[in-house]
């Protein structure tokens, strides 16, 4: 049985994760962490998640439950996640990280823990998106050098704080790597005013923020006469949460290292 604690347990993903842990055999709900000083500390995390009392109360520090869990699941914010990563490395815990929006420096700091802790880090934990990444690799290899323009379009709910989404960036990276390009050189994140015609090798990103959209991504390969669109639509956060719990169970017996969902799902 993998004992799982959830950071940000009162958040959108946190509450969904409580449900997801309960639904999976081999996983148990070992704790929930809310922001330091939060009035929700002491609340039953089952009640926070709307599934009824579960006898596990939210705490506002990881140290308070250090002996209770094996794997931490963290869907919060970059600086919070990095502090939790350090905690897990120090205390021999494993961690599943879904937080997006990290800067290059923050990503480098995260990566510096690869020899100190077993972590799964993925901007999108859904099985469907990770299969989509494989499809994109195949499409990019076949079309990328054949005069097809590549664009990534994503849409999310109005509360999302980072853009483009971590998933959109990951999709762009997979496509770019498959055809010998890089997003640093070829990524275009903004077009406004007299920006001129599109160049052949750029990979463009477009972002929509509206209402309650859970997450939609399309990668378009367009040329004269046809276009191919590979689309993934998430209709419930449960798809990310189930993937995260699967990752937590998978990483529970792994050696130190930085893994992603392709590793968890055996898609490499």
* Footprint on this chain of ligand NAD (rule: CB under 6 A): 7-8, 10-14, 33-36, 75-77, 80, 98-101, 122-125, 240
65 or 179: CB nearest ligand NAD: 65
Dist. CA 13–CA 156, nearest whole Å: 14
Dist. CA 245–CA 20, nearest whole Å: 7
Q: How far is the CB of 100 from ligand NAD (least distance, A)?
A: 4
Dist. CA 33–CA 68, nearest whole Å: 12
- Residue 232 is a catalytic residue: no
19 or 99: CB nearest ligand NAD: 99
101 or 257: CB nearest ligand NAD: 101
- 157 has binding-site annotation: yes
- 12 has binding-site annotation: yes
- Residue 186 is a catalytic residue: no
- 114 Cβ neighbours under 8 A, 6+ residues apart: 256, 257, 258
Give the active site residue among 93, 156, 186, 242: 156
- 16 has binding-site annotation: no
34 or 176: CB nearest ligand NAD: 34
- 124 has binding-site annotation: yes
Give the active site residue among 134, 160, 201, 254: 160
Please name every residue paired with 229 in a beta bridge, in sequence order, or none if there are none: 220
Look-up of token digits 């997006």 = 100
Strand order from edge to edge, sheet including 94-97: 58-59, 27-33, 2-7, 71-74, 94-97, 118-121, 257-259
Dist. CA 47–CA 99, nearest whole Å: 24
Residue nearest to ligand NAD (CB): 11
Show which residues are catalytic: 156, 160
Q: Residues marked as binding?
A: 8-13, 54, 98-100, 122-125, 157, 166-167
């Amino acid at each position: 049985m993998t004992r799982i604690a959830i950071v940000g347990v009162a958040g959108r993903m946190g509450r969904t994760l409580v449900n997801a842990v309960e639904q999976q055999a081999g996983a148990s709900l070992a704790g929930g962490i809310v922001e330091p000083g939060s009035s929700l500390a002491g609340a039953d995390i089952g009640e926070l998640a709307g599934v009824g009392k579960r006898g596990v109360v939210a705490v506002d520090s990881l140290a308070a439950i250090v002996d209770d869990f094996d794997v931490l699941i963290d869907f919060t914010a970059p600086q919070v996640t990095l502090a939790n990563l350090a905690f897990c490395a120090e205390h021999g815990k494993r961690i599943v990280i879904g937080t997006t929006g990290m800067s290059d420096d923050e990503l480098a700091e995260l990566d510096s823990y690869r020899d100190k802790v077993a972590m799964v880090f993925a901007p999108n934990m859904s099985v469907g998106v990770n299969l989509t990444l494989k499809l994109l690799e195949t499409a990019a290899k076949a079309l990328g050098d054949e005069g097809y323009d590549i664009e990534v379009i994503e849409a999310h709910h109005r509360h999302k704080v980072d853009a483009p989404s971590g998933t959109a960036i990951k999709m762009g990276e997979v496509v770019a790597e498959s055809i010998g390009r890089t997003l640093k050189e070829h990524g275009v994140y903004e077009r406004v005013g007299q920006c001129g015609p599109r160049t052949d090798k750029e990979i463009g990103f477009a972002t929509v923020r509206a209402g309650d959209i859970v997450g939609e991504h399309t990668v378009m390969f367009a040329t004269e006469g046809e276009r191919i669109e590979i689309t993934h639509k998430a209709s419930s956060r449960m798809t990310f949460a189930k993937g995260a719990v699967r990752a937590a169970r998978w990483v529970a017996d792994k050696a130190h290292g930085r893994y992603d969902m392709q590793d968890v799902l055996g898609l490499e």
